[in-house]
Amino acid sequence: MPSVTYIEANGASHVIDVPIGENVMHGAVYNGIEGIIGECGGGLACATCHCYVDAAWTGRTGGPSSQDETDMLESTAAEVRPESRLSCQIVVTAELDGLIVHLPEKQF
Protein backbone atom coordinates (compact mmCIF):
# COMPACT_ATOMS: atom_id res chain seq x y z
CA MET A 1 0.00 0.00 0.00
CA PRO A 2 1.43 3.44 -0.83
CA SER A 3 2.56 5.61 2.04
CA VAL A 4 1.94 9.32 2.38
CA THR A 5 3.95 11.51 4.72
CA TYR A 6 2.01 14.36 6.30
CA ILE A 7 4.15 17.08 7.84
CA GLU A 8 2.27 19.41 10.15
CA ALA A 9 3.06 23.12 10.38
CA ASN A 10 4.81 22.46 13.71
CA GLY A 11 7.09 19.94 12.05
CA ALA A 12 5.40 16.79 13.35
CA SER A 13 5.57 14.09 10.70
CA HIS A 14 3.20 11.17 10.16
CA VAL A 15 3.75 8.36 7.69
CA ILE A 16 0.42 6.77 6.79
CA ASP A 17 -0.40 3.87 4.49
CA VAL A 18 -3.21 5.00 2.22
CA PRO A 19 -5.01 2.57 -0.10
CA ILE A 20 -4.76 3.06 -3.85
CA GLY A 21 -7.85 4.91 -5.01
CA GLU A 22 -8.33 6.70 -1.71
CA ASN A 23 -7.66 10.42 -1.48
CA VAL A 24 -5.02 12.16 0.59
CA MET A 25 -7.63 13.96 2.72
CA HIS A 26 -9.21 10.71 3.87
CA GLY A 27 -5.78 9.28 4.60
CA ALA A 28 -5.31 12.06 7.13
CA VAL A 29 -8.80 12.22 8.59
CA TYR A 30 -9.14 8.46 9.08
CA ASN A 31 -5.84 8.44 10.94
CA GLY A 32 -6.44 11.38 13.25
CA ILE A 33 -4.08 13.87 11.68
CA GLU A 34 -5.40 17.18 12.90
CA GLY A 35 -3.93 19.47 10.27
CA ILE A 36 -6.50 18.40 7.68
CA ILE A 37 -10.18 18.80 8.47
CA GLY A 38 -12.05 17.75 5.33
CA GLU A 39 -15.29 19.28 6.55
CA CYS A 40 -17.28 18.65 3.37
CA GLY A 41 -16.13 15.07 3.01
CA GLY A 42 -14.39 15.64 -0.29
CA GLY A 43 -17.16 17.51 -2.09
CA LEU A 44 -15.04 20.50 -3.12
CA ALA A 45 -17.11 22.74 -0.90
CA CYS A 46 -14.94 23.66 2.08
CA ALA A 47 -11.19 24.05 1.36
CA THR A 48 -10.38 22.71 4.85
CA CYS A 49 -8.27 19.97 3.29
CA HIS A 50 -5.67 22.42 1.95
CA CYS A 51 -2.13 21.11 1.73
CA TYR A 52 1.18 22.02 0.14
CA VAL A 53 2.61 19.28 -2.03
CA ASP A 54 6.32 18.84 -1.36
CA ALA A 55 8.48 20.29 -4.12
CA ALA A 56 9.82 16.83 -4.96
CA TRP A 57 6.30 15.64 -5.78
CA THR A 58 4.55 18.45 -7.60
CA GLY A 59 5.59 17.01 -10.95
CA ARG A 60 3.75 13.81 -10.18
CA THR A 61 0.64 15.22 -8.51
CA GLY A 62 0.26 18.02 -11.01
CA GLY A 63 -1.72 21.15 -10.31
CA PRO A 64 -5.39 21.52 -9.44
CA SER A 65 -7.40 18.75 -11.04
CA SER A 66 -10.32 20.94 -12.08
CA GLN A 67 -11.53 24.50 -12.33
CA ASP A 68 -13.64 23.80 -9.24
CA GLU A 69 -10.52 22.97 -7.25
CA THR A 70 -8.81 26.12 -8.53
CA ASP A 71 -11.83 28.19 -7.53
CA MET A 72 -12.09 26.59 -4.09
CA LEU A 73 -8.39 27.21 -3.43
CA GLU A 74 -9.33 30.90 -3.24
CA SER A 75 -11.17 30.09 -0.02
CA THR A 76 -8.33 28.59 1.99
CA ALA A 77 -7.61 30.03 5.43
CA ALA A 78 -3.85 29.89 4.94
CA GLU A 79 -1.73 31.42 2.20
CA VAL A 80 -2.11 29.81 -1.21
CA ARG A 81 1.16 28.87 -2.90
CA PRO A 82 1.94 27.39 -6.31
CA GLU A 83 2.14 23.95 -4.70
CA SER A 84 -1.23 24.30 -2.95
CA ARG A 85 -3.77 21.54 -3.52
CA LEU A 86 -6.97 20.39 -1.93
CA SER A 87 -5.96 17.02 -0.58
CA CYS A 88 -9.40 15.50 -1.25
CA GLN A 89 -8.60 15.91 -4.94
CA ILE A 90 -5.32 13.99 -4.83
CA VAL A 91 -6.08 10.33 -5.44
CA VAL A 92 -3.41 7.95 -4.23
CA THR A 93 -1.86 5.75 -6.90
CA ALA A 94 1.09 3.37 -6.87
CA GLU A 95 3.12 6.13 -8.52
CA LEU A 96 2.49 8.39 -5.54
CA ASP A 97 4.02 5.96 -3.04
CA GLY A 98 6.15 8.12 -0.76
CA LEU A 99 4.21 11.33 -1.43
CA ILE A 100 4.97 14.14 1.02
CA VAL A 101 2.46 16.87 1.81
CA HIS A 102 2.90 19.79 4.17
CA LEU A 103 -0.06 21.01 6.17
CA PRO A 104 -0.87 24.70 6.61
CA GLU A 105 -0.98 26.44 9.98
CA LYS A 106 -4.75 26.72 9.84
CA GLN A 107 -7.73 25.39 7.92
CA PHE A 108 -10.30 27.91 9.24
Angle at 66 between CA 20 and CA 62, to 5 degrees: 60
CB of 15 to ligand FES, least distance (A): 21
Q: Contact letters (x/-) for ligand FES, 79-98, by CB under 6 A? A: -------x-x----------
CB of 62 to ligand FES, least distance (A): 16
Pairing of strands 84-86, 99-102: unpaired
CA distance 75 to 95: 29
Give residues 27-46 in contact with ligand FES (rule: CB under 6 A). 38-40, 42-46
CB of 44 to ligand FES, least distance (A): 5
| Residues found near ligand FES in the complex (CB under 6 A) | 25, 38-40, 42-49, 72, 86, 88
